[in-house]
């Protein structure tokens, strides 16, 4: 069963960031970068349990519907003799959706919203906004198809899949699945869509193009930036910086092909909108990376291999509008680091060994690797001073520590995770960090994925590594 995970910064942490920047920045002056205390506020949480159960829910709901596998496939339940004149067949819906898809391809706005406007002007308005938004997105492919149909008589429910590929961002076509409720109100009359929502367990809905009227879209070589009105100015003023952040992460990667080619980033300062985007379920986050599924071989059915070829990033810009660019850069580099290597992550089952310290440690290290340990601030103080307040760890951070709802516990977990990666880079090499993380990602469901990476990549044991890490922390931080 797929286990899509999201990685996010917590809002409570972000508030700590703001305070720390103000204190650290003023106290340290120009001698130190003020952005580096950001880790104090970072509690980047992957919500395995919630999304996992949601995925199972999605599977269950799919089981109750009838997959459309080819022309002529017809669900048993959507027609009956007594309602033959108004009943809706699967072929009816397929034809309706095909017309919708053709309208998008031919840039025919009126045809795109046809069927949404009879008695539901709100839906028609929304579909028109969707059409206008999609026209702004660089899309290599974009089409609609029917995955499942269920219902009876004059009302049917269809899972409609938007197969699309954002140019420069998605290495392969990906999916966003909608649930359409379709009715036929008169004998032999046209079909009418009376409700649209995300399909059960759909993680890519609502996308910004669904949620925002008048979406701002800025396209750079390695990043497609989307923003609502609350962050349109931020998007424009930070577009070049985001492109630089993307190139920064991508240029560092030495682990071979298979990374995300680029990134889709949505910006908003509207808290409710941020929390609702991509159905993310981490209300406390201020930045999130959501993995999304590939289109299946048929173009209709979701790929359930457990590997997610692409991601979507969303950031609540509220915390970053008044900060120096470097502060925002760290956030974006961190999230892009997750998205960059997300395609390698085996999410086909629960993680086999605690390794959130690898996931978050890599994103932390990658986003701040250009700074020396001596230059970094943490929670407004030097790393040395911060470490002096806490014990030298005797073990690597556990998932529960990194996940902790207690911001202090989580913050310390992120600190140790970051330092462990910094230790690998110092003792071995930055390339070994990439190899180590890649190994863990590819074997994430294995019960000894970290132990095996220690052995196969670093030629050591987890015990020996931890001892060396402790020694390095004492002498180098
Ligand atoms: Zn993270």
| Listed ranges 47-61, 66-80, 101-115, 192-206; the one with the highest mean pLDDT | 101-115
pLDDT for residue 43 is more than 80: no
Q: How confident is the model at residue 198 (pLDDT cuts 50, 70, 90)?
A: very high
Round to whole Å and give the CA distance between 324 and 314. Answer: 19
Q: How far away, in angstroms, is 421 Cα from ligand 1 center?
A: 14
CA of 182 to the centre of ligand 1 (A): 40
Is 60 exceeded by the pLDDT of residue 237?
A: yes
Q: Which of 363, 365, 361, 353 lies closest to 443, judged by CA?
A: 353
Q: Give the rounded percent of residues in the chain with a pLDDT score beyond 90.
A: 62
Residue 108: closest CA among 99, 120, 121, 95: 99
Q: How far is the CA of 43 from the centre of ligand 1 (A)?
A: 8
Q: Mean pLDDT across the stretch 205-229?
A: 97
Check whether 100 has a pLDDT greater than 60: yes
Q: How does residue 281 score in pLDDT terms, banded at 50, 70 and 90?
A: low
Enumerate the domain spans of the chain.
Answer: 7-46+210-476, 68-202
Cα–ligand 1 centroid distance for 355 (angstroms) = 13
pLDDT at 283: 64
Q: Which CATH class is domain 7-46+210-476?
A: mainly alpha
More confident residue, 201 or 215: 215
Give Cα separations from 409 to 41, 331, 413 (angstroms): 11, 20, 6
- For residue 407, how far is its CA from the centre of ligand 1 (angstroms)? 14
The structure's pTM equals 0.83
Q: pLDDT-derived band of residue 306, with 50, 70 and 90 as boundaries? A: confident
**If you average pLDDT over residues 333-355, what whole number do you get?**
93
Q: What b-and-e string marks burial along 399-417, b requiring 16 or more CB atoms within 10 Å of the CB?
A: bebbbbeebebbbbbbbbb
CATH topology for 68-202 is Nuclear Transport Factor 2; Chain: A, (3.10.450)
Give residue-wise pLDDT tens across range 409-432.
Answer: 988 999 999 999 999 999 999 999
Mean pLDDT for the stretch of residues 3-32: 28
The string of pLDDT tens digits covering residues 368-380 is 999 999 888 887 8
Query: Measured in angstroms, how far is the CA atom of residue 285 from the centroid of ligand 1?
Result: 10
Instruction: Give CB contacts under 8 A, 24+ apart, made by 79-82.
Output: 79/152, 79/153, 80/152, 80/153
H-type alpha helices, 181-295: 208-211, 232-252, 271-276
pLDDT at 75: 37
Q: How far is the CA of 206 from the centre of ligand 1 (A)?
A: 22
Instruction: Tell me, in angstroms, the distance from the centre of ligand 1 to residue 289's CA.
Output: 8
Rounded alpha-carbon distances, angstroms, from residue 10 to 7, 179, 402: 10, 30, 12
**φ, ψ of residue 419 in degrees (nearest 5):** -65, -35
Answer whether residue 460 shows pLDDT above 70. Answer: yes
- The two tokens of residue 227 are 């923003």
CA of 367 to the centre of ligand 1 (A): 10
| Spatial distance between the Cα atoms of 18 and 310, rounded to a whole number of angstroms | 31
Contact by Cβ (8 Å): 41, 20: yes
| CB contact at 8 A, 85 and 187 | yes
């Amino acid at each position: 069963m797929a286990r899509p995970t999201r990685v996010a910064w917590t809002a409570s942490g972000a508030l700590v960031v703001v305070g720390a920047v103000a204190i650290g920045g003023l106290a340290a002056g120009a001698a130190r970068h003020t952005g580096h205390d950001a880790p104090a506020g970072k509690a980047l949480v992957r919500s395995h349990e919630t999304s996992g159960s949601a995925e199972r829910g999605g599977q269950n709901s799919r089981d109750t519907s009838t997959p459309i596998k080819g022309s002529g496939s017809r669900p048993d339940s959507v027609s009956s003799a007594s309602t033959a004149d108004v009943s809706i067949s699967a072929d009816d819906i397929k034809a309706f959706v095909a017309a919708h898809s053709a309208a998008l391809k031919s840039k025919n706005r009126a045809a795109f919203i046809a069927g949404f406007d009879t008695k539901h002007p709100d839906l028609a308005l929304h579909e028109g906004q969707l059409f206008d938004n999609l026209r702004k997105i660089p899309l290599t492919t974009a089409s609609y198809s029917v995955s499942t149909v269920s219902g009876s008589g004059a009302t049917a429910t269809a899972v409609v899949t938007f197969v699309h590929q954002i140019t420069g961002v998605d290495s392969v076509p990906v999916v966003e699945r909608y649930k359409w409720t379709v009715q036929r109100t008169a004998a032999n009359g046209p079909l009418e869509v009376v409700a649209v929502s995300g399909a059960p367990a759909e993680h890519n809905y609502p996308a910004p193009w669904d949620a925002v009227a008048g979406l701002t879209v800025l396209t750079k070589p390695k990043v497609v930036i989307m923003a609502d009105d609350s962050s349109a100015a931020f998007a424009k003023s930070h577009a070049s910086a985001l492109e630089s952040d993307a190139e920064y992460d991508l240029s560092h990667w030495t682990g071979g092909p298979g990374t995300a080619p680029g990134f889709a980033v949505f910006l908003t300062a509207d808290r409710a909108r941020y929390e609702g985007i991509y159905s993310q379920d981490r209300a406390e986050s201020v930045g999130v990376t959501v993995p999304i599924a590939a289109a299946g071989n048929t173009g209709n059915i979701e790929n359930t291999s457990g590997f997610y070829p692409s991601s979507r990033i969303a950031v609540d810009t509220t915390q970053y509008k008044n900060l120096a660019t470097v502060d925002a850069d760290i956030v974006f580099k961190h999230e892009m680091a997750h998205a960059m290597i997300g395609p390698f992550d085996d999410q086909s089952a629960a993680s086999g060994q605690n390794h959130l310290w690898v996931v978050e440690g890599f994103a932390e290290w990658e986003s701040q690797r250009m700074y020396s340990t001596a230059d970094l601030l943490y929670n407004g103080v030097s790393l040395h001073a911060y470490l002096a307040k806490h014990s030298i760890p005797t073990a690597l951070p556990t998932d529960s520590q990194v996940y902790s709802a207690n911001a202090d516990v989580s913050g310390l977990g992120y600190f140790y995770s970051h330092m462990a990666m910094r230790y690998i880079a110092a003792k071995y090499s930055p390339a070994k960090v990439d190899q180590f993380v890649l190994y863990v990602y590819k074997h994430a469901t294995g019960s000894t994925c970290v132990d095996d990476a220690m052995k196969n990549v670093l030629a050591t044991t987890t015990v020996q590594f931890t001892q060396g890490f402790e020694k390095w922390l004492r002498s180098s931080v």
